[in-house]
Amino acid sequence: MRRYAFTLVELLIVVIILGILAAVVIPQFSDASTDARVSSLVTNLATIRGQLEFYKMQHNGSYPTVTNFAAQMTGTTDATGATTGTQFGPYLQRIPNNPFTNTNTVVGTSTGTDAWFYTEATGVFLADDGGSEGGTAHNTL
């Protein structure tokens, strides 16, 4: 009686081929995750920057303050930027999370672990990369 089976060499060849395929496919999945985060970050930055310019236009050329950024952007304000007003806003439903840090804090000085960096004098709005590149701010647009 004759038995049919794979030889050790055939099994090793199959395992090596599967290993090569895995080495090619796995990096593509990790790149897709990073690409999705970057895309989300770019969209968030474009939205926030557009709303900052709209705020500036309605508030006589002044940007929101760092200390009241969330309240001024998500609530209603008057022409001076006071959050007790009802004349303008809201500009955002909420401050979006940075996809790299998963937080939505807005700060004026960098600590390397914050979500967003904002300079009220110039209206510059940047994102923290969450330490993936040394905790730096990025202007991805």
Token digits of residue 26: 């796995």
Rounded to whole angstroms, what are the CA distances from 77 to 49, 62, 138? 18, 13, 29
Token digits of residue 141: 């647009």
**Cross-strand pairs, 125:** 118
User: What is the model's pLDDT at position 131?
Assistant: 59
Question: Which residues of the chain fall short of a pLDDT of 50?
Answer: 134
User: What is the model's pLDDT at position 123?
Assistant: 94
Return the CATH architecture of domain 8-138.
2-Layer Sandwich (3.30)
User: What is the model's pLDDT at position 60?
Assistant: 94
Q: Give 108-128 pLDDT, tens digit per residue.
A: 987 767 789 999 999 999 998
> What letter represents residue 3's amino acid?
R
User: What is the model's pLDDT at position 130?
Assistant: 64
